[in-house]
Amino acid sequence: TVHPLVLFMPSGKRGRFPVGTPVLEAARRLGVYVESVCGGRATCGRCQVAVQEGNFAKHGIVSSDDHLSPVGPKEEHYDRVRGLPEGRRLSCSALILGDLVIDVPQDTVINAQVVRKAADERVFDRNAAIRMCYVEVEEPDMEKPLGDLDRLKSALSHDWHFDDLDVDFHLIPKVQSILRKGEWKVTAAIHKDREDGRPRLIALYPGLKNEAYGIACDIGSTTIAMHLSSLLSGRTVASSGTSNPQIRFGEDLMSRVSYVMMNPDGREAMTAAVREALNGLIDKVCVEGGISRADILDSVFVGNPIMHHLFLGIDPTELGGAPFALAVSGAVKVRSSEIGLSMNEGTRTYMLPCIAGHVGADAAAATLSEGPHRQDEMMLLVDIGTNAEIVLGNRTRVIAASSPTGPAFEGAEISSGQRAAAGAIERVRIDPVTLEPRFRVIGVEQWSDEPGFADAAAATGVTGICGSGIIEVIAEMYLAGIISEDGVVDGSLAGRSPRIVASGRTFSYLLHDGEPRITVTQNDVRAIQLAKAALYAGVKLLMDKQGVTQVDRIGLAGAFGTFIDPKYAMVLGLIPDCDLEKVKAVGNAAGTGARMCLLNREYRREIEETVRKIDKIETALEPRFQEHFVAAMAVPNKVDAFPHLSA
Ligand code: FES
What per-residue confidence (pLDDT) applies to 31? 79
One-character DSSP codes across 4-19: PEEEEETT--EEE--T
pTM of the model: 0.83
pLDDT tens sequence across 465-508: 988 899 999 999 999 999 999 999 999 999 999 999 998 899 99
What per-residue confidence (pLDDT) applies to 137? 95
| Per-residue burial over 47-74, b = 16 or more CB atoms within 10 Å of its CB, e = otherwise | bbbbbeebebbbeeeeeeebbbbbbeee
Other residues' Cβ atoms within 10 Å of the Cβ of residue 276: 12
Residue 36 to residue 42: CA distance in whole angstroms: 9
Note whether 126 and 599 are within 8 A (CB): yes
Q: Is the CB of 90 under 6 A from ligand 1?
A: yes
- Higher local confidence (pLDDT), 116 or 199: 199
What per-residue confidence (pLDDT) applies to 61? 66
Residue 559 to residue 85: CA distance in whole angstroms: 40
Domain boundaries, the chain: 5-103, 130-206, 213-361, 416-520
Instruction: Give me the percent of the chain exceeding a pLDDT of 90.
Output: 65
Residue 17 has pLDDT above 70, yes or no: yes
Q: Is the CB of 537 under 6 A from ligand 1?
A: no
Beta-bridge mates of residue 300: 216, 350
Q: Residue 91 CA: which ligand 1 atom is closest?
A: 2
Q: Residue 39 CA: which ligand 1 atom is closest?
A: 3
Beta-bridge mates of residue 213: 230, 296
121 pLDDT band, cuts 50/70/90, is low
Compute the mean pLDDT over every residue in the chain, rounded to the nearest whole number.
Answer: 90
196 pLDDT band, cuts 50/70/90, is confident
Angstrom CA distances, 516 to 85, 450, 507, 513, 558, stand at 60, 20, 18, 8, 29
Q: Is the CB of 42 under 6 A from ligand 1?
A: yes
- Counting every residue written for the chain, the total comes to 647
118 pLDDT band, cuts 50/70/90, is very low
Q: Is the CB of 40 under 6 A from ligand 1?
A: yes
Q: ∠ CA(454), CA(459), CA(464), 5° rounding? A: 80
- Which CATH number applies to 213-361? 3.30.420.480
Query: For domain 5-103, which architecture applies?
Result: Roll (3.10)
Question: Peptide bond preceding 173: is omega within 30 degrees of 0, i.e. cis?
Answer: no
Strands (E), 71-111: 88-90, 100-103
Note whether 644 and 430 are within 8 A (CB): no
110 pLDDT band, cuts 50/70/90, is very low
What per-residue confidence (pLDDT) applies to 461? 87
Q: Which CATH class is domain 130-206?
A: alpha beta
Any idea which of 199-203, 390-394, 405-409 has the lowest mean pLDDT? 405-409
Other residues' Cβ atoms within 10 Å of the Cβ of residue 450: 13
Residue 8 CA from chain centroid, whole number? 28
Note whether 527 and 410 are within 8 A (CB): no
- Decide whether 130-206 matches 213-361 in CATH topology: no
Instruction: Give me the percent of the chain exceeding a pLDDT of 70.
Output: 96
Angstrom CA distances, 218 to 40, 235, 361, 599, 639, stand at 37, 18, 9, 15, 38
Kindly state the average pLDDT of the residues 379-393: 89
